[in-house]
Structure 1
Amino acid sequence: MRRFLAGMATMLVLVIGAGTWWLSSAGRAGTTIPREAPLGPGVRPSPPPADLGPTETWLGDVDLSSSSLITPDGPLRDVHATGTNVRVTSGGLRVGEVNLQATLPFEVAAQQVGHGVVLYDAGGGLAGVRRSTEVLGVKASIRATGKVSAVGGNLLITPVSIDVGLPGFINDAISQAARELVTIEQSIEGLPPGLRLTAVTVGPNGFRATLRGTDVTIAGSGG
């Protein structure tokens, strides 16, 4: 799941890269590029920074929406990425503010967590966690529901109920011992400086993750 969240940051790179390519190719082809677009009554465009270099490209805002996005680590759904005060330099991107949202399907998240874990919508805003393992020498099929949150930039699923399908006090004892096995915490690695996970919720089709950042630097792939 850390790869999914880190991969979300590249969406902004793709959008801005495509826009920059269009601008540069249009300029080479002699196409007239509109300097200003009508923004509606009372709406004024943001001025470019005074220190914009002669080889740099500046975009006041970037907005991408897509119902589906395929990445090497699996598909994302209902993707929305925005950025403001975007500067494209030879070294990459500098973005004043970034907001990324996407839904990670449960099956993709489960594959990234591993250990045979199955994740699903348990209703009421809770995530369901199911896995088979051995606890205190007993083979058990663990079912749990958990609260999903973003804590310190990490994704955390904290169990609120656990059931191992055994009778009475045996179920209670093994369920308590199994708590750690169905507590899922994923540290988010590979994100550019300034960008972090700020919110995550459970939907019918997966986890809805939100990443936000200010003064975010995204290095170019060319180094």
Structure 2
Amino acid sequence: MALVAGVLLLSMAAVLLLRWVNPPTSAVMATHWIASRVTSGNAPSVFHRWVDWELIPLPVALAAIAAEDQRFPTHRGFDLVEIRRALATFQDGGRLRGASTITQQTAKNLFLWSGRDYLRKGLEVWFTILLETFWSKQRILEVYLNIAQFSPDTYGVGAASGRYLGRHVSDLGFQDAALLAAVLPNPILYRLDAPSARVKRRAAWIGRQMRQLGGLEYLKRL
């Protein structure tokens, strides 16, 4: 019990600290670096550049919400509507799709390892609750945009915009934002350096969703 209590207190302290301190890396980035080092023996490349919230254009934030979690401003970490829909689809014989929110993805990417085991899922729930309790929605989205994976070795909108769009993230507009968000479901398969027809269609869909949500006014709900 003492060990469990210690782990819970340590996790709470870490989440509280990162409310104000920008994380220099994430569990996913660290795992990528270690795995590449072990496999190749060479120093692997991990492209990451932190960008403060004030320098992230609002269209970039809106595109991420439109693409990944349209109820982000109103839920408390778990989108029960999407969870029920995913379960209903599975019960009808369909594939069990994910229903992770931006908060869940932030918790997983920042603190945990990849996988579907019960321990990791349980910790994801715990960290999601902590993030929603101690951080603002704006802070959750800021960290998410800075640690999300945009290609096999590129993390965060700062590095992705510079490497693949050729300019600083602060100069991006609506179309650029939609293109960045289009690769988020699978940054290994979907490419920013050579966007496929599927990526372009998804970017167009995200653009329509951004407008249907009400445009930048939607972000006032954060």
TM-score higher than 0.5 here? Answer: no
TM-score interval w.r.t. the shorter chain? Answer: under 0.3
Name the one with the larger strand percent. Answer: 1
Larger radius of gyration: 1
Relative contact order higher in (CA < 8 Å, ≥ 6 apart)? 2
Name the one with the larger helix percent. Answer: 2
